[in-house]
A and B are shown apart, each in its own frame.
Chain A
């Protein structure tokens, strides 16, 4: 059965008819052509589908699309500014070479975003704990942690606009 839901997607109010059993991830990819959130495991282990719902990181592969009715969803596509300027986290991922194959990167950055929204200056331990639900099979994590540290040191991820 299709249900009509309305929610905020990357800052814009949207409405759509969606089937009860569709996950948030499938809706983002198939209905909104937002391909940043990716299905790695499909079971909430790998974090490559991470998006923010009401500013909190969630696995979009485990959340039903109908459950975001009335809420606010932020995906990697919504991070850059209106003229396409990158979010400080995106910039430092590029600068530090924290990307190899790139499959995990959108999820990594969204988890890091949630972490910095909540805690603008995390310790390395807090970064590692905050990122424990995101797996990367290429980098070995060191550069990812470095990139998040660099973004937080710029003190630029505290607000949503930079």
Chain B
């Protein structure tokens, strides 16, 4: 593998200084499951690798005042094992469940997943649906970026020079919400999605849709909310037929591309098929939560 200099700064300040000093020749190293592969494949060739593993606080998850804060260096495995996430943010648990292998999930981080901005990132659509905000620190101090403004396109984010993602803040979901993420892939394990479908449903007591959120990945150049489909469902009874129509509306809002993995036509067809399916699972979860009391 190409030679580089490795650093383990012990504070964000120190890490930011290293990035500023080395500019384009430096890369941040989180879990490394993407970056090390890319260095081996000579797709990336940094001279300086700045590891975030010794910076305190980045590996913590905190739930207070209804808001969940996930540190950038929290691994997918930690999220997978967190009861609270499985209970309250099922769609995020779904997203990490089948990402890579145990070996990958043990080291790959949510911050790395987001900051690489691969169109196939499994946590992207759930975080967009959840309305996450990214807390970023840089030379000019801290700022927060809504996730839908963070992604700028494949491999591109809003992060400026010297900026580092510190944590991901996820606002509380309304009471009685049910959610689901479907990773549509060829294999059950060790595969990248062909499509990612995230749905959150908030029904009222009469099973009329009070709020719906639909976020899609690989259905366009970056993850997005299918706002017309969401507006269509809101205020309607949560029936299969309504969701079928919502799926078709979302197809119209999508602009998937053909890639070596699959065709645009297939992706469009599956968006219409999978949105009702994700809605059905979300609804089952609402019901299960109610029965649990």
Residue positions of A touching B, CB distance < 8 A: 1, 3, 19-23, 42-45, 47, 50, 56-59, 62-64, 66-67, 111, 114-115, 129-130, 132-134
Contact = CB atoms under 8 A, between A and B. Distances in A.
A43 to B, nearest CB: 5
Chain A CB within 10 A, most for which of B37, B41, B189: B37
A20 B8 CA distance: 11
Contacts of A111: 102-103
Nearest to B51: A67
Interface of B: 1-6, 8, 29, 32-33, 36-37, 40-41, 49, 51, 53, 77, 100-104, 106-107, 188-190
A91 B103 CA distance: 23
B106 A23 contact: no
Contacts of A129: 189
B138 to A, nearest CB: 25
Given A58-B107, A66-B8, 5 more contacts: A20-B4, A21-B1, A59-B33, A111-B102, A129-B189
Contacts, number: 79
A42 B36 CA distance: 10
A42 to B, nearest CB: 6
A34 B102 CA distance: 23
Nearest to B3: A21
Contact of B101 (A23, A42, A133): A133
A67 B4 contact: no
Nearest to B40: A42
A62 B107 contact: yes
Contacts of A22: 1
Contacts of A21: 1-4, 6
